[in-house]
Every structure is written in C-alpha cells, then in structure tokens.
Structure 1
C-alpha cells in the first residue's frame, strides 16, 4: 500500500507536498479532491474543507501542507530538505511560513476578484490582501539577495515553498511582473524549473 495525497493538481499547497514527495522518492497516490461541489469532495476527508490532506498506510490523516512536509522529512533520509539544527530549521520554516502566507493572501485576492456580483466585491479587501503579497514578495527578494538558494548552500524546503508560491502567482495572475521587478527571484524560479520535481508537477494550461 502507498500513501494517498488528497488535493487538486492546481493547488500550490498540494504542489509543495507533491514536490517534497518526489524529491524524497516516496511513493504516493494522488487522489483528485476539489474544493467545489455540494458538498465539496474534500469535506469527506478533511473537516476543514482544505487541501492537501495526506492519508498514511494505517489510515491516519494529516492536514495542512506545513505539517505534512514536516512529517515527510522524517520519513526518509533521501533528499534532506530541513536542517537538523534547531536554529537552521527555524530559518527554513520561516521561509515556508512567509511563502505560505503570501499564497494565502493571493488566494483571497483571486476569490474576491471572482465574485460574480460586482456589488459584493470589495476593492478595499482586494487591495489589503494584495498589499500583503507585494510586501512579502519584496521581503523575500531582499532576503534572497544574491544567494543561489533561499537558505544555505543547497536546495531546501524553503526553495520549494517560495518557488511554488511564485509560480502559482504567475499562473493565476499573468500580469504580475514579479520576474521583472525581482531578477533574483526570477533566477531562482528558472533554477527550480530545471528540477524534475517541478517539471512533473506543472499545473495544466
């Protein structure tokens, strides 16, 4: 038996977990579970109605991408993505937290912008969330500076988290010119897209 990963192939949070699984060479089965429908498919798996969810071979369910990747890191020594040292681990997880928070805000911008009734759409809310995206992206670029990787001298979970966030924003907001504004983030994204794990998890379209 293999673990089951519940989620959509377009979800950046699911992609982060898929990339981690591929990098660590852990077998898994992707179960397409959408947030749409009445009730949404994922509600039968995760009471929070969110993706991803990981079902272990013994039936245990793990929720939230950050918790899942943390579990996976200890499951297989191949593809070491999180340092053992407490302080270094915190620094990597901080990158992940920033990237996930930027994604959370970007998702809210997308959902609010998609409201069918313009009267119900709050531009003030959109602007507030977009401000979070813009500030966080600028901070990430500042922290990356001229380094090759987000943390240390090699590929880590920090790069996975930042890469999936940036590439999802590009996927959903083609007019966002972050590649031009932040050449160092652009270089990182190009480097990440050369990895098999990022190629295999490209969303369709």
Structure 2
C-alpha cells in the first residue's frame, strides 16, 4: 500500500498513527497539493491523505478521506482494534473522532485565511479566523469535560478516539503555538502528554518550523 500525504497534515498523521498502531507496512509518498496536481490522478478532490491499494495506479484503487481510510485500515489486522464494531460504543468513538476532526478543520481554515498565497492581505478576514479559533476553544473544552479523569477517551483502552484527539491538539500546537488550550483544560493537557510519549506519536510529529 502507498499512503499519499504530507508531513504537516493532521489528517495524514492520524492515518499514519493508525497504521503504526496496527503494525502495517506501507510506503509514504509525499505530495504538496498546493504546488502540484498529481494527487488528482488518485483523488479528484485534490486532498490528502489518499491510500492506494497495492498494484493500483488510478482512482478505482484509491481510498480517500481520513475517516474512511482508518475505518478500512482497522479491518486489515486484528492487532490493536481501534474502532468498536457496532452499537453505542462505536458511535462514541466516531463522535470523538468527529469532534477532533472539527478542530483540525477549523485550524486549517484559520491557517489558510492567514497564509494562503492566493489571497492578498486586504482580502483576509480576521473575524473569520477568530470564528474558527473559537470553534477550537469550544471543542477543547468539550473534550476536556468528556475526558474527565478517565485514562482514555473511550472505554478502558487506547482507541481511534485518542489518536484523533492527539492529532488535533498536536496540530493546534504546531500551527497556533500561542493558543494556551492547556491552561483551561487540565484533563486534556494530561492526556496529550501521555499520548505524546507513544512511539507512534513520536515518529509522526510534524517537522519543526
């Protein structure tokens, strides 16, 4: 399998961590979607991550969107099941993932509004940026409350919920280091520190600026 992505995308990082925790082999193919249209051959949306099945080289052999990819990858090996198969348990883990993905979406939108080269400074909207960062703050507060004093986001073991939360918080630290989400969310800060000690998180940390 080939995973097309970048070292800075939190969605790619989520897939990479899942692959590592599942102990699956793959080839990471780096792609800058902002400077090349090569990704369109595999994903018409022009986005990463994109997982390409072995021996395939067209859209029909590709899986895209991080939620779809991790869902598929979790079925490839019985090692470290990350997503419950059914029922309320599955819904809870996927809801954690959706919340964390929302943080990443909002942070990416805020970053693009400030940094996208195609938008001149006079066209950038600070109110839009603040609206996205308010979503980040609200989601962090919700995750902090949901976590409480539990060892893991869901159940009594590590799951996709924890991976998603860790990737979201890591991306906020990476792109918006001035945001002090830890100060108001001690439960989340504690959990993030624990997640950061896992080898899968260490190996996929975004490059230093």
TM-score range, shorter chain: over 0.9
RMSD: 1.2
Instruction: State the Cα distance separating 1:115 from its structure 2 match.
Output: 4.7
- For residues 100 and 45 of structure 1, the distance between their equivalents in structure 2, rounded to whole angstroms, comes to 22
**Structure 1 pair 115–69 and aligned structure 2 pair: CA distance change class (3 A):** closer
TM-score in terms of structure 2 length = 0.93
Number of residues of Structure 1 aligned to a counterpart in Structure 2: 202
- For residues 125 and 167 of structure 2, the distance between their equivalents in structure 1, rounded to whole angstroms, comes to 27
Of 110-119 and 120-129, the range deviating more from structure 2: 110-119
- For residues 99 and 146 of structure 1, the distance between their equivalents in structure 2, rounded to whole angstroms, comes to 19
**Structure 1 pair 5–115 and aligned structure 2 pair: CA distance change class (3 A):** closer
Of 54-63 and 165-174, the range deviating more from structure 2: 54-63
Alignment gaps of 5+ in structure 1: none
- For residues 171 and 207 of structure 2, the distance between their equivalents in structure 1, rounded to whole angstroms, comes to 12
1:74 matched residue in structure 2: 75
2:26 matched residue in structure 1: 28
- For residues 171 and 133 of structure 2, the distance between their equivalents in structure 1, rounded to whole angstroms, comes to 15
- For residues 176 and 49 of structure 1, the distance between their equivalents in structure 2, rounded to whole angstroms, comes to 30
Matches within 5 A, 1:105-120: 105-115=106-116, 117-120=120-123
- For residues 105 and 191 of structure 1, the distance between their equivalents in structure 2, rounded to whole angstroms, comes to 24
Of 16-25 and 194-203, the range deviating more from structure 2: 194-203
TM-score in terms of structure 1 length = 0.94
2:175 matched residue in structure 1: 172
1:138 matched residue in structure 2: 141
1:54 matched residue in structure 2: 51
Is contact 1:115–1:121 with CA below 8 Å preserved after alignment?
no
Matches within 5 A, 1:115-194: 115=116, 117-194=120-197
Deviations 1:45-95 (A, max 9, x none): 211011000001152100000000000111111011111232101100000
- Does residue 101 in structure 1 map to residue 102 in structure 2? yes
- For residues 115 and 164 of structure 1, the distance between their equivalents in structure 2, rounded to whole angstroms, comes to 22
- For residues 116 and 67 of structure 2, the distance between their equivalents in structure 1, rounded to whole angstroms, comes to 29
1:14 matched residue in structure 2: 12
